[in-house]
């Protein structure tokens, strides 16, 4: 009976995740959580304590970092680690840029509807 090396071994444990795999997973989760962080940072600015203001700034920084830094860092780590998922981070960066451009267009359009000197 000959052994065929192309036949997958059943019951073999999956390979242990490496440090690069963990970094890629962490950056992906950070990118996916950035819209939630942005949403929670949009609280009412009135009646805030300094702790709440600091939390709002931290959530805003986390959201912006997740939108801008996570795709670029993930692409660099995936390419350096020679992982096949590097293309995913290029798509994540394109989606981030598209959403941010759409938000900027919406906010700039809404800002232009107020007459000068009138607080909307």
Quickly list DSSP for 49-103.
-HHHHHHHHHHHHHHHHHHHHHHHHHHHHHHHTT-TTHHHHHHHHHHHHHHHHHH
d(CA 71, CA 67): 7
Judge whether 71 and 31 are in contact, CB under 8 Å. yes
pTM of the model: 0.69
Nearest to 24 by CA among 107, 113, 84, 111: 84
- pLDDT tens for 60-107 read 899 988 988 999 998 898 888 888 778 888 899 999 999 888 888 887
Which position has the higher pLDDT, 1 or 74? 74
d(CA 102, CA 105): 5
d(CA 104, CA 110): 10
């Amino acid at each position: 009976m000959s052994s065929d090396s192309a036949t997958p071994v059943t019951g073999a444990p999956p390979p242990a995740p490496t440090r690069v795999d963990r970094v890629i997973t962490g950056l992906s989760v950070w990118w996916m959580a950035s819209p939630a962080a942005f949403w929670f940072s949009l609280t009412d600015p009135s009646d805030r304590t300094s702790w709440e203001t600091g939390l709002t700034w931290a959530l805003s920084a986390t959201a912006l970092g997740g939108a801008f830094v996570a795709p670029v860092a993930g692409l660099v780590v995936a390419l350096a680690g020679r992982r096949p998922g590097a293309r995913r981070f290029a798509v994540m960066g394109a989606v981030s840029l598209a959403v941010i451009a759409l938000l900027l267009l919406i906010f700039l359009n809404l800002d232009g509807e107020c007459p000068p000197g009138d607080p909307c």
